[in-house]
A and B are shown apart, each in its own frame.
Chain A
Amino acid sequence: MVDVTERAKQLRDVAYYPGCALEGSGNGYDVSTRAIAYALGLNLRDVKDWNCCGAMEVKNIDPKVQTYLSSRVLSQAVNKTKNNIVMAPCNGCYHNLKKAEYDLAHDENSREIIDKLSTKAGHQTYEAGQAETIHALDWIKETIGEEGLRERTKGKLAGLKIANYYGCMYVRPRHIFPEKDQGPGSESTSKPHFMDDLLSAAGAENVEFPLKTACCGGAHTLSDSDMSTKLVLNILQAAEASGAEVIATECPTCHSGLEMHQIRAEKRYGKKTNVRILYFTQLLGLALGIGPRKLGIHTNISDSIDFLREKGLT
């Protein structure tokens, strides 16, 4: 039991890997993550000179290029940022770093290629086991926890009905997340609940939402827009049917996919949905009494300012 507090202490000071999306369309996620870190007294050290993890696209050119890109991020964290816990709020980044970790631990061929590329690129080769990648959900859950949030938020989100949407990359494929599905207390890959836990600790009411890990079509958001719109519309309508007023997200690709295709569904198919879309960090920020602008809520495409005012949250 000693290591629980020991670990919580360790996680209070992590290497932070925002990734490309959080510098662009997912800026509200970055701003709100930093804002709650500050409010909760958690330290984020940006990974020095980080690069793109390879997102969902690079592996289709060659999977090893993706492994290399992610391994360079881990190498920068360990060797340049001097921190071996890497916190990545973006599902895509989180997934790719985990996948690189798995590949390097299990595949000799990957190790060779990554070593060759790293040497050519002039930096230290990342070796499996040197770092641990965690998601923003793990980070809050393990440092502050439900108890801590309950104390600090005083149930401020009471009366807010939320559908928690986790998407694909946070849970699939299962083998790259060895810490999940380990019984009570661990995250589940079929019915994830970490976001539910945190938001309900902040007072929100989580609705029974069957599409937590459905796909939003993010990989083809532009190249096959009609498919994405159909998939997103399905998620939005299911959330509304479950009685949700807000969909909480934990990934910039899912988030902007939901927002963009909510508008596209209305424009192209005349299907309007009213459910609001907010990052879970924005919701936690509001619960902690941080103003919506400081959480980047006005930079979201989905307009929820008036709604939040009605709910007494701004």
Chain B
Amino acid sequence: MPIHEKSLIRPENITSHDELVIEGVDVSGHWSTFIETRVISDYNEEMEQEIAALPGGEHIHRCWQCGSCTNSCTVHAIEPRFNPRYWIYLIRTGMESELLRDKDIIWQCVSCNKCTYACPRDVVPEGVMKATAHWLEMKGHVPESPSMTFDKIFTEQIVEHGRIEDTKVLMQFMKRTNQPLMQDWLKQIVMNIGMRLPVKWGLRSAWNFVFHPRVSGWKKAGAALEDYINEVEQHHKSALGDNKSKVATDNAGQRQLRAAE
């Protein structure tokens, strides 16, 4: 079955009748399983362009639907609903409502790049997943994902200090996502190494904790990056906004044309 028909065979689209006779032929029982007619009229024509305007999404138009990405995908093996090929199809055809059914799992791409390795068309599906997750957040379809929160904390630390410290990132992440810092497994890890570590190691970590490693001369680089990131964010926002108004006027123009005919 072509991938775009996948959505047709969901339970809610299938009807059957215990007794049914059509033109004198008895088609009761499993012969009477029908797929409901589907009419889609609300294509989002801007979606592909908007996602292509975000970093990673640039090459989405190259996809020829071979399915190698999904076939090689790390997350797909664990969560069969995670399907880059299908989502690329939905995005390209503008089937937004279908895409939104999976909106809560798209951010789960682990960036392993198995898809990029397998893709014969250099679509970089990994990038498309990131761009799509980004788009969903920017459009307000989903709240900020834990992954995005993590990326932000990480980047903020780099802009500020030039380097990152894993303990600090961990603590900030747990705090911002409202998770208790002392998860049972983290406690176990701390205990495991705590038992074996010499005092010196503990002192070193404590030292690093108070005196953060700094890169001398970083201030200017940090400032330059901060400006650049703000600029890029503005650009993304306007790319989504501008496209929208542009396509909206195009659509309005077409409607007028049609009305005139």
Contacts and interface: CB of A to CB of B under 8 A. Distances in A.
A121 B166 contact: no
B106 to A, nearest CB: 12
Interface string B198-238: 10010000001000010111101101110111001000000
B114 A267 contact: no
Contacts of A50: 163, 215
Interface string B12-24: 0000000000000
Interface residues of A, number: 61
Contact of B224 (A60, A62, A117, A220): A117
Interface string A252-282: 0000000110011001100000000000000
Nearest to B177: A223
Nearest to A293: B198
B167 interface: yes
A5 interface: no
B165 to A, nearest CB: 6
Contacts of A189: 117
A154 B56 CA distance: 49
A158 interface: no
Interface string B152-194: 1011001000111111001001100100000011001100110
Nearest to A223: B146
A227 to B, nearest CB: 6
B170 A222 contact: yes
B188 A60 contact: no
A65 B163 contact: no
B167 A24 contact: yes
Contact of A223 (B149, B167, B193, B218): B149
B37 to A, nearest CB: 38
Interface residues of B, number: 63
A99 to B, nearest CB: 11
Contacts of A121: 220-221, 224
Contacts of A227: 75, 78-79, 108, 110
B55 interface: yes
B118 to A, nearest CB: 10
A301 B192 contact: yes
Question: Interface residues of B: mostly helix, strand, loop or mixed?
Answer: helix
Nearest to B78: A230
Contact of B229 (A51, A52, A61, A72): A61
A174 interface: yes
A173 B117 contact: yes
Contacts of B32: none
Contacts of A303: 192, 196
B166 A21 contact: yes
Contact of A20 (B165, B177, B184): B165
A301 B158 CA distance: 26
A57 B111 CA distance: 10
A55 B185 contact: no
Contacts of B174: 222
A172 B166 contact: no
A2 B74 CA distance: 44
B116 A172 contact: yes
Contacts of B225: 65, 68, 117
Nearest to A60: B151
Nearest to A23: B213
A57 B150 contact: yes
B155 A58 contact: yes
Interface of B: 55-56, 74-75, 78-79, 108, 110-114, 116-117, 124, 130, 134, 145-152, 154-155, 158, 162-167, 170, 173-174, 177, 184-185, 188-189, 192-193, 196-198, 201, 208, 213, 215-218, 220-221, 223-225, 227-229, 232
8 contacts: A49-B215, A121-B224, A172-B116, A219-B110, A219-B111, A220-B110, A223-B150, A298-B196
Given A49-B215, A122-B221, A168-B113, 7 more contacts: A117-B221, A120-B223, A214-B74, A227-B78, A231-B78, A231-B110, A263-B185
**Smallest CB-CB A-B distances: 9 pairs:** A215-B112, A121-B221, A120-B224, A223-B146, A57-B154, A172-B113, A51-B162, A264-B185, A24-B166
